[in-house]
Amino acid sequence: MHTKNHPPTIADVARHAEVSIATVSRVLNGNVPVQPNKAERVRLAMDELRFVPRHAARVLASRKTLTLGLILSEIGGAFFPLLLKGIESEARAVGYELLIHSTQGQYSHQRKPLGEHNTDGLLVFTSSLELNELYRLQSINFPVVLMHQTPPDGLNIPVVTVENKDGAEMLVSHLIEKHARRRIVFLRGPEDHEDSQWRERGYREALKSHKIKFDPKLIGSKSQLMKQSEKCWQMELRSTQSLLVMMTQPRARSVRSRRRVASFLKMWLWSVSMMCPSPVSSPPR
């Protein structure tokens, strides 16, 4: 019999509902039909005793965790939150929870945070799981779905992806044909991502089909863009501080000083525009 120091067990529920332990187990697992009146008595007993099923015991009994694992490289940016929201929504709609592990670009060789020990299947984002682990999971017939990554040779693993090459080629062709653009910058993603490689291939083929010579100087990366943005913000911050100092000084009230401030502001806007994308692109006169 349970006490305050000992939470109720499945035996306590069976005794309270006047049924067998096997009947309580069937109600909990839901894998074998139970007479409606007995099932109702079991549920009432669990409510009255405040019985909480032990998840580990249920997993051992049913061999199911009702949990899906998602392994991905990162969870920041604009792309991943929407991806997570969609996956979690679909998983919950069919009665599954979602466990998420972010590798941060590093493989765990000693410990496997997600796998057959705590999930019923894995969703693996590109470059998030080492090949040896994919082969191992395939060898034990553990369900895996790859995202934005072609299966390794010899592995028949389902894949969810998009047509990156054709999409990039159509986009670049549109800029060339509809907007008469010929110097088109391409910002590539991580070099080890298949998506990045296929998009660049589409970019190059669009240039080739329109007889435009490929210029490696027009190829950039996310890291380069972030560094450039950081320079812009630092420059803007220093200039703004200087501007505020000039405007708060008493002599800034004179006409000459106001003209000086206006000239400084004009030069500041132009210098920022040279480093950052901006409608202001003409030098001061």
CATH fold of 10-62: 434 Repressor (Amino-terminal Domain) (1.10.260)
pLDDT tens digits, one per residue of 215-248:
988 888 766 655 655 665 565 555 555 544 444 4
Predicted confidence at residue 279, as pLDDT, reads 38
Question: What is the total residue count of the chain?
Answer: 285
**33: which 2 tokens?**
């039909």
Task: Return the closest-CA partner of residue 275 out of 217, 222, 218, 224.
Answer: 224
Q: Within its chain, how far is the Cα of 278 from the centroid?
A: 30
62-103 confidence digits (pLDDT tens): 567 889 999 988 887 777 888 889 999 998 888 889 999 988
Please state the pTM of the whole predicted model: 0.55
The first and second tokens of residue 219, run together, are 């190829």
Helix (H) or strand (E) segment spanning residue 100: strand 97-102
Q: Where does 67-160 sit in CATH, by number?
A: 3.40.50.2300
Cα separation values, 131 from 135, 144, 151, 152, 193, Å: 6, 13, 9, 7, 14
Note whether 195 and 164 are within 8 A (CB). Answer: yes
Structure tokens of 6? 């000992």
Give 283's pLDDT tier (boundaries 50, 70, 90): very low
| pLDDT > 70 in the chain, percent | 69
Question: What pLDDT is recorded for position 266?
Answer: 56
Query: What are the structural domain ranges in the chain?
Result: 10-62, 67-160, 164-214, 235-275
Q: What is the pLDDT of residue 173?
A: 93
Cα(166)–Cα(173) distance, integer angstroms: 10
